[in-house]
Structure 1
Amino acid sequence: MSEQPFTPNQIFNLSLSTIEQRMMDFYEETQDNATTIQLLLALRVRYQLGAEEFALVLKDLVKYLFTRTKVTKTMKKFIYFFQDYFETSEWKRINLRVFPVRNFIEKAKSLILSPLAKLLPIEVAAT
């Protein structure tokens, strides 16, 4: 992970336009997905603390990171904090992209258990 481009004071005090420009410059220069996602998460915290103008800060960058870059551990760890950046159909595609094995297992389990539930008594199928 590269050196943090912002101090905590800067993340919570710089104006929206300044942060957007510096974040874009940082990402274009380093292509560091993990650090960029962590910084975006810090801006989500700032929004949650009451900075309404940070509601969907750098939406295009977030969408780009989650749809077009290699899936990383950081992305998997923090994906759910960015759910409101995406429409429902986009969110389903991104979830499949980030967690392909988990989704495959859940789908296979539902396909196997669905016919079994019809054959088993209701009490057994519910457990």
Structure 2
Amino acid sequence: MSTINLGTRQLFLMKRENLSKKFNSFLENSDDASYVIQCAVAVLVRNSFTPSDFSNFEKDLIRDLFLTSDKVKSARKYCVYFRNYFSEDEWQTVVNRLFDSEEEFSQTTERTRLHIEKLLPILHSGGWEAPIKRSLVTVFKDETGKKHGWTLSNVDRKYSTQENCDLLAILSTLTIFEKNGVRRFAELVKNSFATIDIDYNSENEEEKIEVWTEQPKSAADKTEIHNPEEANLPRSSKDTHPAKHVDSVKEEKKLEAVNETAATSIPKNEKKRQRKRPEDHQKKLYAKNPFHKQEETKKLTQPKKKKKRKKKRK
């Protein structure tokens, strides 16, 4: 692998000119055409959300890789994302180079083609003026099922919730993003746009969203995202807050118990006040209430009666 880094930070944060240089430097050092093609797909996803113009990014480079490079075969299923980069004759050349037959091409790319058919105009759209800059806040699962958050800043919300989820689901087909050898972005869990307030949340029950995956799910798995209450996702409160770890929930319960005890217990200062006061202070209190004074006087003057003990019968 090349020493020139080309990961999420570069693909989603760098400006177009600098990112273009990074693409070419990476390819010169690594000659990993498959990796570059997947990076180009990630840039298409970025282009759909950002007002900056990343359309036709590295078009000549991508055309050259699909038309001439033999190392791009491992990324051949992604060729359909760049169909509009080629003329009819050139496209037929690409298909013939990468696939043994038209039937193999259809079978290999069928699900992807159906998924991106309506998304292609969005993926290849140009720049625009955004009235409000937002942050796209997402949660994905990695290939081990562990959740992790990912945020894309300086974006705009132009499309429907379903379209936004479909665009983000494209990242789940890419294998280039890893951490400690574990592939990230394996499955989209949820996403939302945010300024100061939350714009929308894909888990909103009123908006039934189907999250697309490259491999079709079984019937039992299809309802996982539709209803957040039925999903096995631990939450501190339904629909509005992210999942909390079981340990944090236990800590919250302990804290609530301590607060309840503190609310009902007598403070130390109050306990000191309730201790027996000196005799002169007692007299002042009883002076205000003569009945208490008389009762107290009787108690002090009258001798205590000794209790008679009963003799035990032998």
Q: TM-score, normalised by structure 1?
A: 0.70
| Bigger relative contact order, structure 1 or 2 (CA pairs below 8 A, ≥6 apart) | 1
The residue number in structure 1 matching 2:57 is 57
4+ runs deviating over 4 angstroms: none
Aligned to 1:9: 9
Mapped partners of 2:7, 2:74: distance in 1: 23
Deviations 1:42-92 (A, max 9, x none): 111111224452111001110111011104221x22111111211222112
**1:23 Cα deviation (Å)?**
0.6
Q: Secondary structure at the match of 1:53?
A: coil
Q: Distance in 2 between matches of 1:77 and 1:14?
A: 26
- AA of the residue aligned to 2:35: T
Task: List runs of 5+ in structure 1 lacking aligned partners.
Answer: 107-127
Number of aligned residues: 103
Query: Which residue is 1:123 aligned to?
Result: none
Cα distance between partner residues in 1 of 2:88 and 2:51 = 25
Residue 22 of structure 1 corresponds to which residue in structure 2? 22
Distance of 1:104 and 1:77 partners within structure 2: 13
Aligned residue for 2:37? 37
Structure with greater helix percent: 1
Q: One-letter code of the match for 1:20?
A: S
What's the counterpart of residue 244 of structure 2? none
How many percent of aligned residue pairs carry the same amino acid? 24
Map Cα deviations across residues 3-47 of structure 1 (whole Å, 9 max, x no partner). 682331321121100000111011011111111111111111111
Change (3 A) 1:17 1:5: same
Please list the CA deviations of residues 69-124 of structure 1 after superposition, one character each: whole Å capped at 9, or x if unmatched: 104221x221111112112221122112111x223889xxxxxxxxxxxxxxxxxx
Structure 2 counterparts to residues 1-127 of structure 1, below 5 A: 2=1, 5-51=5-51, 53-70=53-70, 71-74=72-75, 76-99=76-99, 101-103=100-102
Distance 1:52 1:35 in 2: 24
Q: Select between 16-25 and 40-49 the one with higher mean Cα deviation.
A: 40-49
How has the CA–CA distance of structure 1 residues 40 and 51 changed in structure 2, closer, same or farther, with 3 Å as cutoff?
farther
Letter in 2 for 1:73: S
Structure 2 runs not aligned, ≥5 long: 106-314
The secondary structure found in structure 2 opposite 1:54 is coil
Output the CA distance in 2 between the equivalents of 1:52 and 1:84: 20
- Give the structure with the larger strand fraction: 2
Q: Give the Cα–Cα distance (whole angstroms) in 1 for the partners of residues 104 and 18 of structure 2.
A: 44
